[in-house]
Structure formats: structure tokens, C-alpha cells
Amino acid sequence: MSNTLRPKSEYRCFDGTVAYYSHYSASCDCEMSFAVYLPPQAQLKSVPILYYLSGLTCTEENFMTKAGAQQYAAELGIMLVAPDTSPRNTGIPGEDESWDLGSGAGFYVDATVKPWQKHYQMYTYITKELPALIIQNFPVQADKQSIFGHSMGGHGALICALKNPEQYLSVSAFAPIAAPINCPWGDKLFTAYLGEDKSKWAEYDATKLIEQTQLKSTIMIDQGTEDTFYQQKQLLPENFATASKKANQKLNLRWQTGYDHSYFMISSFIKDHMEHHSIYLNN
């Protein structure tokens, strides 16, 4: 293992291992953390990679402890990688004052506005630096990568896949922020990280990106009907569905009656998402 990674802890899980690491990130110019699950198959051969991007306020721990994905990753022979959601302890004034801006709220964009631009380069971190680290340090198939996420992370997964259609074989999302330029969260975070010029925001809006780029794989989205943030018009999956239909993008948008925005929803349907990605990763 490269000495650029610093192991923090490791746990046996479904005959594989959950492990947590930290490292210095050149793109974010600070210490970053991520978690991995290596399935038992990785002891004998290289395995495909599935990245999971978490939502607002989360760290690299939430998905690994709450989603229950390891059982299915072990069965399917897929490595899971869950990065932290933002840089932390950067010294930026106010980075810890709001739960939906700064720490825990990187929004998976490359910030262009001071003071965020020095450290908040999450898009480059997720799509370039982290994959390079994973390929360098673990027994993986570099040409077999997919991505999914929840809420802010669902937004991140969609834009990463749409901006890099040759890098990711498949994408899915739980309750993603699907049209951020049209919702309060997007307005707050894009203004802070990208500035007042809204023409630059479309670069990180999945509903806009789908108009220019379509994926060969089917995009899968689960949305709970009792999701408070959906009801508050923060997520706007219908906007993404309409744009996908116009662009002839294959989309499986599943409405889950009675489910909310929590990990109870995610854990209820994580098996379906793991099997969705396995179709492409294990083909």
C-alpha cells in the first residue's frame, strides 16, 4: 500500500473488510478521509469499484454503518468506496457555522469563489484524485467503475457520471438534488462556491447536463413520497425525468410510497441499487 494513505481502522465484515483511511489531498490542499469495503473476492482477484457519495452533514462513516450495502457487495464481488463530503478544518471563516454550507456540504463542485476555492475542489477530488488513489493502492479493475449517492451525493453521482460518461459504467441515486439551479439549496451553495453568474451553474446541474450528454446505461433513481425535502421542492426529480425523456435517456425513476429521506429508505432499497450496478460492473 502506498505510504500516502494512512490507515485509521479496519473491521471484518461479511468475510471482507471495512477500512477507514486519511491522506493529504493535493486537489483540496488538506487532509481528506474515505472508507472502503473490500469484498472477500479481492483476496484472490481484482474487483470492480462502486463509489458512494453521501449527503449534507455526512462523513465517510454514514454509508458504511447505516446502508447495509456490504452484504450485497460481498455477494457480488464489488468494492465500495465512500469519501467524506467536504474538506474540513481548513481555517475558512464560517466553514462550520451552517449545516448546509462549508463542512459536510462540499456539493461535489470545484469552487471558483474565495474563500472556498483554495480547498473546496470536490469534483476534481472525486473524479480524478480519489480514483487514482484507489487504483494505486487496492486490487481493483480500473476500467470497471460506477457511482451512486444520496441527496447532495445523488446530485454528485449524477453530475460525475454525466460529465464523465466513459469513466463510470452506471449511475444511480437515492432522492438526489436533481435540478439544483432551481432549488433553494442549489441557490445557496452555487452562489457561495461558484458566484453570482448563474450561467456557470449549469455545469453542475444534472437536469441541464442530460440535455447535452446521454448515458448508455439506464439511470436508476429512488424517491420517497414522504420525503420532506422533496415536498419542500429541494429535489425536483420530475424536472430530471422530463429532461431525460426529451433527451431519450433511459431512466428508471421509482416512487417509493411512504418512505422519507433517511437511511431507512436507503437500506430498504440498497439491494436493488447494488444489483443494478452489478449488471454493468460484472458484465
Rounded CA-CA distance 111/121 in Å is 6
User: With helix as H, strand as E and coil as C, how does the chain read?
Assistant: CCCCEEEEEEEEECCEEEEEEEEEECCCCEEEEEEEEECHHHHCCCEEEEEEECCCCCCCHHHHHHCCCHHHHHHHCCEEEEECCCCCCCCCCCCCCECCEECCECCCCECCCCCHHHCCEHHHHHHHHHHHHHHHHCCEEEEEEEEEEECHHHHHHHHHHHHCCCCCCCEEEECCCCCHHHCHHHHHHHHHHHCCCHHHHHHHCHHHHHHHCCCCCCEEEEEECCCHHHHCCCCCHHHHHHHHHHCCCCEEEEEECCCCCCHHHHHHHHHHHHHHHHHHHCC
Contact 124, 253 (CB under 8 A): no
> Taking CA 279 as the corner, what is the angle to CA 63 and CA 147, rounded to the nearest 5 degrees?
35
Place of cell 461535489: 108
Q: Which of 113, 97, 124, 99 is nearest to 29 (CA)?
A: 124
Which of the residues are catalytic? 151, 227, 261
Q: Which of 201, 203, 207 is nearest to 186 (CA)?
A: 201
